[in-house]
Structure 1
Amino acid sequence: MASDSEDRWVFGYGSLMWRPGFPFIERRTAVLHGRRRAFCIYSVHHRGTYERPGLVLGLAPGGATRGVVYRVAAAQWPEVYAYLREREQPTETYFEAWSEVKIDGDGKTSALVFLSDMKHSQWAGALTLDQQCALIAGATGLSGRNIDYLRDLVLHLREDGLRDRAMETLLAMVEAREAA
């Protein structure tokens, strides 16, 4: 971890990619090895409720995740960190880690990453696309409709030059289910 006088990096793999909500000096594409992006967290706050859970992204073990890193100025870190804890931890389904990420074209750095807590009651684990579709379709929480979160993910991955065929297939399935 950085000293109090050093800038820090934050890794985003979901909504932090397109809506960071905090000031940063630099945004770069990066890869986190050993974890994969997955709809593996029941959402009872942002994209669902306790009565009708939705799903949000987490970092499940295995694979690699292409996302972005943001460099945050040391002077702004206390406020950014407080904001991230409030945003990412409403039900404490994630735990914080400082993990090595590979910044495209520029080596490696340590970044704050919110990892999925597989022991938490909201851990959904490995769900089939059909199971994910059933949970996402029709779910709504404080941050809006669950399908919009999925759609934003697919669109913003494309904007960054990435294709995730499983997420694109899931989006098509949810759109079809909601249209029926």
Structure 2
Amino acid sequence: MQDLPLDADGHLYVFAYGSLIWRPGFPHLGHEPALLRGYHRRFCLWSRHYRGTPEMPGLVLGLDRGGACRGVAFRVARAEAPAVLDYLESRENPNGENVYHRRLLKLRLASGRAVQGIAYVADRAHPAYCRPCEQSTAATIARGAGKTGTNREYLENTARQLSAMGLADPRLERLVRLVMARSD
């Protein structure tokens, strides 16, 4: 059996900061808000599959260096861990593109407990990595669409789910307002 990135309690924890929050797509035993230090949520990856096309890329969220990120930690049973890891690898790095690195990082759960969990961190060396200004980000999100839907719904769903859990992200909420202003 492969070495599994399990916490000391025997479970796999998956840190979600974008679409995994509202569409995990894998079996889990539960979830709770969590804090990841050392990384922040940012639209920093061009999407030519899920939220854009090769001709008109969209943007997706990545964890980028610095700051902190509030998200969700999903708890997965050890028996399910290998299949969940395979699923996440194909979802986060479609067609072997490797825009994200899977990292085992310390998460602080809302309960106050610290666990080791995996998170997908943006690969700054990958050609899909970018750091557009806020106005360019809003313009790209306003027009982006790919095989899993529009960039706008991706942004709005993420902001809405975070807010519903009491984890409002002011930067995402500002982007929602900027995109709505462009779309009206």
TM-score tier after normalising by the smaller chain length: over 0.9
Q: Distance in 1 between matches of 2:29 and 2:90?
A: 21
Report the AA paired with residue 144 of structure 1: G
Q: Deviations over 1:117-164 (max 9, x none)?
A: 000000012x22101012111110111010000110111111111222
Q: Distance in 1 between matches of 2:35 and 2:167?
A: 12
Q: How many residues align?
A: 177
1:129 aligns with 2:147: no
Partner of 1:35: 39
1:170 aligns with 2:175: yes
Q: Give unpaired runs (5+ residues) of structure 1.
A: none
Q: Distance in 1 between matches of 2:25 and 2:143?
A: 26
Question: Which shows bigger deviation, 131-140 or 29-38?
Answer: 131-140
1:156 to 153, 161, 171: 161
Partner of 2:106: 100
1:140 aligns with 2:164: no
Report the AA paired with residue 101 of structure 2: F
**Percent sequence identity over matched residues?**
38
- Report if aligned partners of 2:6, 2:13 keep a CA contact under 8 Å in 1: no
RMSD, matched Cα? 1.4
Report the AA paired with residue 102 of structure 2: E
Deviation at 1:23, TM superposition (A): 0.7
Partner of 1:2: 6
Moved over 6 A (4+): none
**TM-score calculated relative to the size of structure 1:** 0.94
Partner of 2:117: 111
Q: Give unpaired runs (5+ residues) of structure 2.
A: none
> How do residues 29-108 of structure 1 correspond to structure 2 at under 5 angstroms?
29-90=33-94, 91-108=97-114
Determine helix, strand or coil for the equivalent of 2:157.
helix
Q: Distance in 2 between matches of 1:29 and 1:93?
A: 25
Deviation at 1:77, TM superposition (A): 1.1
Q: Distance in 2 between matches of 1:75 and 1:163?
A: 33
Report the AA paired with residue 7 of structure 1: H
Deviation at 1:6, TM superposition (A): 2.7
